[in-house]
């Protein structure tokens, strides 16, 4: 009795295509995990460094990501943003982002932290301290990879404060002043009108991406085993 391996062309092509897709999906998830590990390492390094003065302009983004900075200025609450659907301890609320006119510089958006929303979805009234405030926090560059159906805000008294996504390009076009293209997340110890500030680390779901990657690689291996088993046949010699 002989063992013969005679797969059909159709089954071979189907297996190769499907396995390739699984491997690509696994590599994509693994790449996301690696990228978040790098961001986590960058954040941990920045937390060990003393805060520096806020730069007038950032050309190279990466060295400034999560960099701790300090500056002083005055809040401009009229063009404040309430970033919707932000969760803190299973409760839904908003992140409060208030533009601040920096002393000797352009306006910068300051994320002052999380506030709880109301059951009736009424827009909350947010207290903003007046006068000169000293700010310390870290620089965050918002993602531009999302699709929004929101109506563009206008530069008048009908400003709509509740936003679903932090679209910096949209914000820059909507306000009548120059704004730095990043956000400063207010440090938990800063007293410049802050709220709840449990900033999630960038690597808080690394294990999830690794798990998905291993699953996709496992699917590819399973397909290969099934392909071999189905096409190995015993024949009489």
Token representation of residue 40 = 């986590």
Please compute the mean of the pLDDT values over residues 2-30 and round it to a whole number.
89
Least confident of 18-27, 53-62, 183-192: 53-62
pLDDT of residue 155: 56
Cβ(216)–Cβ(23) under 8 Å?
yes
Beta strands in the chain (DSSP E): 2-5, 52-53, 68-75, 81-88, 91-102, 107-116, 132-140, 162-163, 179-186, 232-235
Token representation of residue 8 = 């059909």
- The CA-to-CA distance between both ends of the chain, in Å, stands at 5
Helix/strand/coil for 220 = helix
Least confident of 45-49, 51-55, 131-135: 45-49
Nearest to 148 by CA among 84, 219, 204: 84
Cβ(102)–Cβ(71) under 8 Å?
yes
Cβ(153)–Cβ(176) under 8 Å?
no
């Amino acid at each position: 009795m002989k063992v013969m391996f005679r797969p059909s062309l159709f089954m071979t092509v189907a297996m190769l295509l499907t396995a390739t897709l699984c491997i690509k999906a696994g590599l994509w998830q693994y790449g996301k995990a690696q990228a978040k590990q790098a961001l986590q390492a960058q954040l941990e390094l920045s937390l060990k460094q003393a805060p520096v003065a806020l730069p007038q302009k950032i050309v190279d983004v990466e060295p400034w990501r999560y960099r701790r900075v300090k500056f002083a200025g005055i809040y401009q609450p009229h063009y404040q943003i309430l970033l919707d659907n932000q969760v803190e301890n299973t409760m839904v609320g908003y992140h409060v982002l208030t533009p601040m006119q920096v002393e000797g510089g352009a306006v910068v958006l300051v994320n002052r932290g999380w506030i709880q929303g109301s059951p009736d979805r009424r827009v909350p009234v947010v207290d903003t301290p007046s006068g000169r405030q000293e700010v310390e926090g870290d620089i965050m560059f918002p993602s531009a990879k999302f699709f929004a159906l929101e109506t563009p805000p206008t530069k008048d008294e009908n400003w709509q404060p509740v936003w679903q996504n932090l679209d910096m390009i949209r914000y820059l076009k909507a306000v009548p002043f120059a704004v730095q293209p990043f956000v400063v997340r207010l440090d938990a110890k800063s007293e410049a009108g802050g709220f709840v500030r449990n900033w999630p680390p960038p690597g808080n779901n690394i294990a999830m991406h690794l798990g998905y990657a291993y699953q996709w690689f496992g699917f590819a291996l399973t397909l290969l085993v099934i392909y071999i088993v189905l096409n190995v046949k015993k024949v009489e010699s």
